[in-house]
Amino acid sequence: MGAGRMRLRSWLVVGVSIALLLAIGAVGISVNRSALRAAETVHRADSLALVTNNGGLAEQVLMVAVKELNDFVTSHPLSMTAGDAGDVAALQEYQKKSANFTYGLVMTDLTGNLLSATGPAGMFPDPQSAAFKPLISDLALGKPGFSSIMTVGSTLIQAAALPIVVGSQPEAIVYGFIPLTKSQLQEYIVKLQDDSHVSMLVDASGMVGASSDPGLLGTHVDPAIAAKVATTESQFVTYTDNGHAMIAALHGGLPGGWAYVRTQSEATFDGPVRNRSLTINLALLTMLLVGVAGLAILGYRSQLVRRRAEERFSALVEHAPDVVTVLDDRGNVVYASPSGQRILGVTRVGTPVFESIHPEERDLVRERFAALVGERGGLERMQVRVRQADGDHRWFDLTASNQLHNPALDGIVINARDITDSREMQDRLAHDAHHDPLTGLPNRRRLQQRLADSLRAEPVAVLFVDLDGFKPVNDELGHEAGDELLRQVGARLSACLRPVDVLARVGGDEFVLLLPGVGTAAETTGVIERLRACADAPFAIDGHEVRIGASIGVHLAAPGEQPDAVLRTADQAMYAVKHRPDRPGRHRA
């Protein structure tokens, strides 16, 4: 009877142990599944954010090419008559210097009739081809035009077009042709090369115009991807390729109907996260089977597997490029991955996360954190600056997931990716789009924006400055000397101005000054005298002493005037001063 009781007690212990292990296993699988869902959500959100960012950078590369074309048009006087030798020479000279339009350039009138070109007509595509339709549509909307991919002979090319505006009316159109195999887009995409995926830029028809795999240039993407190219919202597209399940992350809406696409197999996309989850589930099942054999063996095995899993997780987190942080519901840091110490130079466990956010974004982060805490399973994305140990700030792309309901995490999980280099590139591109590359001064586009802003509330004195004697410097000393002279003139004129004034180079040897708040001629007298003195002082150019002068036209613009009309009036005033018969020579105003 005693032995029976012992056996029964042993079976009861075994049964209770098995029941406890089954319960523990069920909880472990449930927790692992929740963590898997959260990781997959963050992974997909990060992938879309990366595609959106790369697509935006590709768009900036295209717009830089158009800016180069616009700088040529605004800085070179063109006759825009058929066969004009001067226009052909200007286009050929520009093609030699251009980093983008190495295939050739064409100028036509507004109806498409050829005016000038850098090569024979046979070198260029038929303007009636379907690939020109996106370009024509963009021009009709008053935007720079970009074509789809065209093939001339065996060369893949893309066209960019811009109207040539005289006064305020378009008079002609200039086309630049980019050989895609040597384009800046191709160079940019190759830099994104990775063994796990392929990055591409495709046109509106789905043809590949740039790829991290150069062998794909000129091919067509899968029809499932091509059907989504026109979509402006970043999204995923699934399809099959030779029996393999594939997934593409796509960001459309680029100029000319182009789209950025990143493709890879679903196995490589979801594999690392799901394989890790599968490994943990198999370990739990193994633990359950071992438990049936004996509680002692189960305890030993569970401790061994747990220790190995923790070491594997610690190794993954420690070497991960992203920073993983867990916050409580008040915003205090309760966990920070080792990568945070490596990137920021400090760990902030136990302190409020808001203290490390840049003051300009701190209120926004508090507001969105409060909204996230109230949304079970919610996600928030934002880009903020985070303070380093030395006091400087770095830009991070944050993905915050509300896992307060998840017992395994019990907090707000933040995945932070350092995007400082990307933001700096965007800032440089934005600066280049509004500044003259030679002098660093604001260009005509930036000038018009500042003038429009000022004219909403106050009068503005507009001084249009044309240098006298600049052409002989170019002719006698060369264009490099002329460029150096323009840089020195820009620096001198800038030194004559108030902090609120604006100096811009609008083309050639012409500069424009905006004096906000100045509405009378008497107030401009001192400025004009200073400008004259600046222009009159000799310049040291390549060992030569150079003297020039300046003709200055003044227009006092009242609030509400149109910027284009104001600039034309100032230009006309300068022209009248420069050609007054009673004022020969330099220093006219």
* Model confidence at 288: pLDDT above 80: no
Residue 13 pLDDT exceeds 70: no
208-247 confidence digits (pLDDT tens): 989 988 889 989 999 999 898 888 889 999 999 899 899 9
pLDDT tens column, 369-420: 888 888 887 888 888 888 876 777 778 777 888 888 888 778 888 877 777 7
Could you tell me the pLDDT band of residue 340, with boundaries at 50, 70 and 90?
Answer: low
Cβ atoms of 262 and 54 within 8 Å: the answer is yes
pLDDT of residue 6: 45
Pairing of strands 104-109, 114-117: antiparallel
pLDDT at position 92 over 80: yes
- Residue 166 CB: number of other CB atoms within 10 A? 11
Q: In this structure, what are the phi and psi dihedrals at residue 349, rounded to the nearest 5 degrees?
A: -60, 130
CB atoms within 10 A of CB 549: 17
| pLDDT higher than threshold 60 for residue 311 | no
DSSP SS3 for 441: coil
Residue 2 pLDDT more than 50? no
pLDDT digits (tens, 9 = 90+) for 466-489: 999 888 888 888 989 989 989 999
What mean pLDDT value characterizes the chain?
82
Angle at 199 between CA 414 and CA 49, to 5 degrees: 25
| Burial group, residue 389, by CB count within 10 angstroms (0-12, 13-18, 19+) | exposed
On whether the CB atoms of residues 259 and 54 are closer than 8 A, the answer is no
Give the count of alpha carbons within 13 A of 82, CB side only: 5
- Please name each of the domains of the chain with its CATH number: 72-173 (3.30.450), 320-420 (3.30.450.20), 434-578 (3.30.70.270)
Sheet with 460-468, edge to edge strand ranges: 502-507, 510-516, 460-468, 549-557
Q: How much is the pLDDT for 10?
A: 59
| Burial of 155 per CB tally in 10 Å (0-12, 13-18, 19+) | middle
In this predicted structure, the answer to whether residue 116 has a pLDDT above a threshold of 70 is yes
Residue 533 clears pLDDT 80, i.e. is over it: yes
> Tell me, what's the pLDDT at 511?
94
450: its two tokens:
């500042």
Percent of the chain past pLDDT 90, that is, above it, reads 22
Average pLDDT over residues 352-381: 82
pLDDT(506) > 70: yes
| pLDDT at residue 247, rounded to an integer | 94
pLDDT of residue 584: 46
With a cut of 90, say whether residue 299 has pLDDT above it.
no
Instruction: Tell me the pLDDT tens digit for each residue of 152-190.
Output: 888 899 999 999 988 888 889 999 999 988 888 888 888
Tell which wins on pLDDT, 373 or 563. Answer: 563
Average pLDDT over residues 46-57: 87
Pick the more confident residue, 292 or 84: 84
Beta bridge partners of 184: none
Res. 341 pLDDT band, cuts 50 70 90: low
Is the CB of residue 233 less than 8 Å from the CB of residue 294? no
> Does residue 586 register a pLDDT over 50?
no
Buried b (16+ CB within 10 A) or exposed e, 350-366: eeebeebbeeebeeebe
Q: Is 260 exposed, middle or buried (0-12, 13-18, 19+ CB in 10 A)?
A: buried
Tokens encoding 191? 């830099």
Amino acid symbol at 259: A
* Residue 543: partners with Cβ closer than 8 Å, 6 or more residues away: none
The residue among 115, 116, 108 whose CA lies nearest residue 139 is 108
